[in-house]
């Protein structure tokens, strides 16, 4: 890979700063995949440094954290997880679109490792991928707490947010204590807004 190719890769992926996440939410809630990836990377740094996340290749995990959303490159909006979960957007179309984007980036800029890392992240083949996937979900909840909720109304949305990280964190038991603390903050937010905190929102 030439230095010119490297430059062009960074010029192209810079568009992630302008792609919107949470497209079904009011503008105040939205961020970008670049914002989100920074948040995931910072979580990884702190949890690894504190010894909560152990026995991983930290450099590889950080690579995954910073590149896991390259699949949104070149889009105005990402595939909103809430819209996918409620069937408004197609999970099949989401996967097809994301795969095509990463394959194109990998081939165009002669970076096969990008495709390899993304496939690992999607499949959770390594511990590093499973940890980053769990932090990806946790960071999304932290963002919702930070902006004061999704501002969407309805039980379906409250369920979606409260249980969003559960499945991924179950594959990384060392993150369960941290997710419980995150959920305590989310529970307080729900209470402030008069939203019922259901028993199945608690992490088992």
Mean pLDDT in residue range 117-144: 98
Residue 1 has pLDDT above 80, yes or no: no
Whole-number pLDDT of residue 153 = 86
DSSP state of 79: -
Distance (Å, whole) CA 114 – CA 91? 22
> Homologous superfamily of 3-201 in CATH?
Hypothetical protein af1432 (1.10.3210.10)
The model's pTM is 0.95
Q: Scan for tokens 């909560």, then name that residue.
A: 52
More confident residue, 145 or 82: 145
Contacts of 149 (CB under 8 A, 6+ apart): 29, 189, 193
Domain extents for the chain?
3-201
The tens digit of pLDDT for each residue in 10-28 reads 999 999 999 999 999 999 9
């Amino acid at each position: 890979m030439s230095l010119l190719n490297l430059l062009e890769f960074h010029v192209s992926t810079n568009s992630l700063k302008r792609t919107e996440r949470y497209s079904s939410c009011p503008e105040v809630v939205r961020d970008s995949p670049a914002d989100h990836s920074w948040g995931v990377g910072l979580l990884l740094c702190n949890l690894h440094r504190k010894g909560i996340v152990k026995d991983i290749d930290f450099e590889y995990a950080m690579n995954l954290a910073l590149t896991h959303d390259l699949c949104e490159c070149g889009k105005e909006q990402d595939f909103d997880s809430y819209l996918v979960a409620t069937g408004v957007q197609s999970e099949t179309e989401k996967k097809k679109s994301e795969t095509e984007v990463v394959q194109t980036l990998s081939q165009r800029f002669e970076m096969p490792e990008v495709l390899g890392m993304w496939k690992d992240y999607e499949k959770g083949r390594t511990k590093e991928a499973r940890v980053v996937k769990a932090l990806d979900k946790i960071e999304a909840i932290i963002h919702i707490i930070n902006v004061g909720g999704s501002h969407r109304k309805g039980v379906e949305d409250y369920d979606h947010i409260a249980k969003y990280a559960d499945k991924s964190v179950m594959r990384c038991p060392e993150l369960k204590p941290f997710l419980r603390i995150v959920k305590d903050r989310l529970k307080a937010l729900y209470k402030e807004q008069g939203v019922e905190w259901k028993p199945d929102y608690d992490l088992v």
